Amino acid sequence: MSYPTLPVEEAHDEAEELLPWYVTGQLEESDRIRVEEHLSSCGSCREQLAFERRMVQEFRAQAPEVDSGWARLRDRIEERGQAPSPVRRAANDLWNVFRQPGVMALAAAQVGFLVVGGSVLLSLSQPSYRALGSAPTSPTANMIVIFRADATEEDIRDVLKANGASIVDGPTSADAYLLRVPTRQRQLALVRLRSNDQVQMAEPIDGAAQ
Amino acid sequence: MSLSGTVIRPQAETVKARWPDERELLARVSTGDLQAFERLYRIYQPRLARFLISMLQRQQLVEEVLDDTMMVVWQTAGSFRGSSKPSTWIFAIAYRKALKAKARWPDPVEDEEYDTRVSDDPAPDEQLHHQRLHNALRDAMEKLTPEHRAVVDLTYFHGMGYREIADIVNCPVDTVKTRMFHARRRLRQAMPGNLADWL
């Protein structure tokens, strides 16, 4: 297989730039072939190649000791109860679904099905979450909302303020937002949001409001 | 021209062979499997420690950032989608954490714990020779920015390609090449004596 030949100076600059990755065997074939072709005729790059080899040897010979902090980290997890939240994981899964461009085409009913499915999953995962004996340590989204296409930024801001909601993530390509509302107000917020003209869909995402 | 023997790859194959295991470990970690997390930690702790020492050059900060990095892995393993290698994902977290930590501790640090300069003890010529080079490189590395040090360490020590490094440090491939080019020039200038003395 042949590859386009570069002018000499350009070939030199390119080869010189790629030498560290040539030495460590990390170049793609086309780059590797060009570098080798240039090395065969460039004494300066062959000298630089020797330098690169020396650097790799030198850097790999240095291995500063850092004590394993596993016990420290395990204590941090167990004592503070910083377990991976099933709520967050399921929210992530759901969120990734919403991030797919194709989701734009989903009907509201399908979206609702996904949300309910996510909630079921979440409720099933609750025991393991509790077994780790922790409360969430950082705010996570507990509601997913899609505003109407003609809702203005001001409309959205007003709706958020009226319900004490903050945006955790979004908008996605499907124009969905993950919101966090105070737990005790969520049921009321859901009712309000669903009856708001600017809101196309509002669903809880951790099952607690079911 | 024969260039056989010029490629140094002591780690690349090992890392590749680990990918499936690491993906599986991450999947288990996302379900709260502490044993899987410990295995992942023991795989990554030495690599991250080395990387963070290069970037931060301060032992106490290294431990803090390493712990914070692995806590993020523990808490968000479920968001790893497999579009990149686990190592790329984990190193990218460490890189971001290190830059934030560096921003909190911007001043040059005299770190006695990391000091491996030549001792006063008599040493054989060869050892002294090696230590002089080691110290020169170390001093040169200290003068680079954390961003440059990260690229140098990921290339020379961790044997990563420029595309993976670009993913980790979240910048264009050409920026990685440029950072490496300038860092190498600084390192070479810092070497005492002639290049031939060190080869």
More confident: A58 or B176: B176
Q: Please give the model's pTM, rounded to 2 decimal places.
A: 0.61
Per-residue pLDDT at A187: 78
Compare CB distances from A84 to B9, B75, B134 and report the shortest one's residue.
B75
* CA gap B151, B159 in Å, rounded: 11
Element (H, E) at B178: helix B173-190
Phi/psi for B145 (5° steps) reads -75, 160
Per-residue pLDDT at A133: 29
CA distances from B103 to A128, B93, B107 (A): 38, 16, 9
* CA gap B14, A210 in Å, rounded: 49
Tell me if B180 sits within 8 A of B152, measured CB to CB.
yes
A82 CB within 8 Å of a chain B CB: yes
More confident: A16 or B111: A16
CA distances from B124 to A157, B128, B130, B197 (A): 72, 6, 10, 16
Q: Do A24 and B9 touch (CB under 8 A)?
A: yes
Phi/psi for A166 (5° steps) reads -125, 150
Is A147 in a helix, a strand, or coil?
strand
* CA gap B154, B164 in Å, rounded: 9
Distance from the Cα of A87 to chain B's closest Cα (Å) equals 11
Which residues on chain A are in Cβ contact (under 8 Å) with B150?
none
CA distances from B143 to A107, B108, B162, B196 (A): 57, 10, 22, 24
Residues A157-174 have pLDDT tens digits of 888 888 888 888 777 766
Tell me if B159 sits within 8 A of A20, measured CB to CB.
no
* CA gap A39, B72 in Å, rounded: 44
CB atoms within 10 A of CB A51: 19
Report the candidate in B71, B61, B63 with the shortest Cα–Cα distance to residue A76.
Answer: B71
Report the candidate in B152, B97, B26, B64 with the shortest Cα–Cα distance to residue A24.
Answer: B152
pLDDT of B24 > 60? The answer is yes
Among A32-46, A153-167, B61-75, the least confident range: A153-167
A94 CB within 8 Å of a chain B CB: no
Which residues on chain A are in Cβ contact (under 8 Å) with B198?
54
Q: Do A64 and B38 touch (CB under 8 A)?
A: no
A-chain residue closest to B134, CA distance: A58
The pLDDT mean for chain A works out to: 72
Alpha carbon B143 to chain centroid distance?
Answer: 16
Distance from the Cα of B11 to chain A's closest Cα (Å) equals 9
* CA gap A15, B177 in Å, rounded: 11
* CA gap A197, A190 in Å, rounded: 13
A84 CB within 8 Å of a chain B CB: yes
Tell me if A94 sits within 8 A of A115, measured CB to CB.
yes
Residues A71-127 have pLDDT tens digits of 888 888 887 665 565 545 555 555 555 555 555 444 444 544 444 444 433 433 333
Report the candidate in B47, B67, B72, B50 with the shortest Cα–Cα distance to residue B149.
Answer: B50
The pLDDT mean for chain B works out to: 82
A66 CB within 8 Å of a chain B CB: yes
Phi/psi for A144 (5° steps) reads -120, 135
What are the start-end ranges of the E strands in chain B?
A: none
Report the candidate in A189, A105, A196, B71 with the shortest Cα–Cα distance to residue A205.
Answer: A189
State the pairing for strand pair A143-147/A199-204: antiparallel
Alpha carbon B119 to chain centroid distance?
Answer: 26
pLDDT of B82 > 50? The answer is yes
Average pLDDT over residues A182-199: 81
Q: A136: alpha, beta or left, given left = phi > 0 and alpha = psi -120 to 50?
A: beta
Compare CB distances from B8 to A24, A40, A77 and report the shortest one's residue.
A24
* Residue B130's pLDDT band (cuts 50, 70, 90): confident
* CA gap A98, A179 in Å, rounded: 14
* Residue A191's pLDDT band (cuts 50, 70, 90): confident
Per-residue pLDDT at B8: 56
* CA gap A40, A34 in Å, rounded: 10
Residues A23-41 have pLDDT tens digits of 999 999 999 999 999 999 9
End-to-end CA, chain B: 20
Query: At how many degrees (to 10) do helices B34-56 and A70-80 cross?
Result: 120
